[in-house]
Structure 1
Amino acid sequence: MRIKSCPVQVKAAGAHEGTEDGVFEAIVAAYNTDSVGDRITPGAFAETLAEWKGRGNPIPVLWSHMSHDPDYHIGEVLEAEERPEGLWVRARIDLDAPKAAQVYRLLKGRRVTQFSFAYDVSEGSWVDQKDGESYYELRRLKLYEVGPTLIGANQATELLDVKSGDRSLRLALEGAAPAEAAAIRTAVEAALGAKAGRALSAKNETTLKSARDALRKAADDIDNVLSVVSGDEEETEDEDEKSATGAPPSTPSAQPAPKGAEPAGPHPASRRLRTDLALLDAEVSLLTDEEK
């Protein structure tokens, strides 16, 4: 499951709007290219909205995707439809719940001005533009929930009314800093372009190799951290077992590795990252060989 959050603008708030307390309207997803290079296409939500309607269940409204805490399930979507500017929702916040009521006050006071939604990509693809920046087109999405959040990414999403006013590599980049993600994305796009017949510049080749090296170092760091965590857990389990049987705790001592023993391999959690690195390494080597 992924999340996408967007700054919004409060258009109206107050009892003068003439609707019940706790109801708001918002465009929670805009049809434009956002700051991470995604563009939602009109119709991307059509199938998932039909599925929600067919089940007869309301789309949940959560504060900042906090699905693990029932107190932050703050309301439900009353209506949802795709409009020319994006996904529009009309929702009600549960004012009887203290935290939900506080979120509503934050919306009314313009202290929270962003919305977000959780989703999975059912269909999407990179779009290469010769006269502009490439982007990832989100063509069909599965929607899980929407709601207000403190930090967003899309500069075009807008809160209309607070009524009654009281590729796999790309997945890895989503956790990177914007500058890092942009550099790696540029390099990968250049690599893909070279594979299609365009030349790979020395600058982009260097950037791609630097990105690969950074990812490889990240994999090593993951192994180190997971090894320490696994070792601590095993030691704790041993001590707990001895305590239960009345045996004295063991004194830690360094045990030399048996002669000829193989070093421990990478933790399973980093194997996929290492596989991606191997593929990226092969791509760089192929492109470099082609240039030569």
Structure 2
Amino acid sequence: MTILHHDIEIRFAAEDAGTFSGAANAYGTVDSYNTVFMPGAFAASLTEHRAAGTMPMMLLQHSPSVVIGAWLDIREAPSGLFVRGRLDLTSPSGRKAHAMMKAGELGGLSVGFRRRLTDTLADGTVAIRQADLIEISPVRRPSNPGARVTDVRSATAGPAGLVNHIRRAAAIIGGKHA
């Protein structure tokens, strides 16, 4: 009988607990309000936030009384507005939002904004060319179908989480990728 010995290293990234990312708005996509955000719609507002050292609020379902975390990074790309945030896992609302995201029940994102510059397209759709970004909320049903949470992180949940990591490591070492 041959006994194989393997060194394994398990790392727990507590600083990643509660972080998530996604597309807060998909540019060029008509939403349920018959509006479409154009590329660069939030550029001026983001520049103003950076200059002031602020970020838009993170609210649960646009509820102004339920702040659930903070945005770590917000950036525009030609296809949309992309975000990375951290839920406040020390608050009941933040923990609930995290659990709902992990379960797929809170998989959308939605922007709270004030219009600056708009025009109406030939088909009646309102094109938003410039807007003040006030808040971004994780929501159950996003107005913009392309506004989705794409990744949710969590810390290992005590002994049960450690056991799960050990089982996965054992399966990998044994050639059975879990």
TM-score over 0.5 for the pair: yes
Q: Is the 8 A contact 1:18 1:163 kept in 2?
A: no
SS at match of 1:54: helix
Give the aligned CA root-mean-square deviation in angstroms: 2.1
- Structure 1: 4+ residue segments shifted above 3 A: 15-19
Provide the rounded CA distance (Å) in 2 between the counterparts of 1:16 and 1:106. Answer: 22
Distance 1:16 1:41, change over 3 A: farther
The higher-RCO structure (CA 8 Å, 6+ apart) is 2
Provide the rounded CA distance (Å) in 1 between the counterparts of 2:49 and 2:63. Answer: 20
Distance 1:165 1:140, change over 3 A: farther
- 1:48, distance to aligned residue in structure 2 (A): 0.3
1:154 aligns with 2:144: yes
The structure in which a higher percent of residues are strand is 2
Distance 1:165 1:26, change over 3 A: farther
Gap runs ≥5 in structure 2: 1-10, 157-178
Provide the rounded CA distance (Å) in 1 between the counterparts of 2:121 and 2:13. Answer: 42
What's the counterpart of residue 63 of structure 1? 60
Query: Counterparts in 2 of 1:60-99, with a 5 A limit?
Result: 60-67=57-64, 69=65, 72-99=66-93
- 1:127, distance to aligned residue in structure 2 (A): 1.3
Q: Is the 8 A contact 1:44 1:140 kept in 2?
A: yes
Query: Counterparts in 2 of 1:42-53, with a 5 A limit?
Result: 42-53=39-50
Gap runs ≥5 in structure 1: 1-14, 167-292
Provide the rounded CA distance (Å) in 1 between the counterparts of 2:79 and 2:23. Answer: 8
Match of 1:26 among 22, 29, 41: 22
SS at match of 1:105: helix
The structure in which a higher percent of residues are helix is 1
Query: Counterparts in 2 of 1:269-284, with a 5 A limit?
Result: none
1:123 aligns with 2:117: yes
What's the counterpart of residue 51 of structure 2? 54
Q: Is the 8 A contact 1:52 1:58 kept in 2?
A: yes
Q: Using the aligned pairs only, state the percent identity.
A: 27
- 1:59, distance to aligned residue in structure 2 (A): 2.1
What's the counterpart of residue 135 of structure 2? 145
- 1:77, distance to aligned residue in structure 2 (A): 0.7
TM-superposition CA deviations, 1:182-216 (whole Å, max 9, x none): xxxxxxxxxxxxxxxxxxxxxxxxxxxxxxxxxxx
Provide the rounded CA distance (Å) in 2 between the counterparts of 1:63 and 1:93. Answer: 10
Match of 1:37 among 11, 34, 56: 34
Match of 2:102 among 93, 108, 113: 108
TM-superposition CA deviations, 1:223-264 (whole Å, max 9, x none): xxxxxxxxxxxxxxxxxxxxxxxxxxxxxxxxxxxxxxxxxx
Amino acid at match of 1:85: S
Number of aligned positions between the proteins: 145
Provide the rounded CA distance (Å) in 2 between the counterparts of 1:51 and 1:165. Answer: 34
Please give the TM-score of this superposition, normalised by the length of structure 2: 0.74
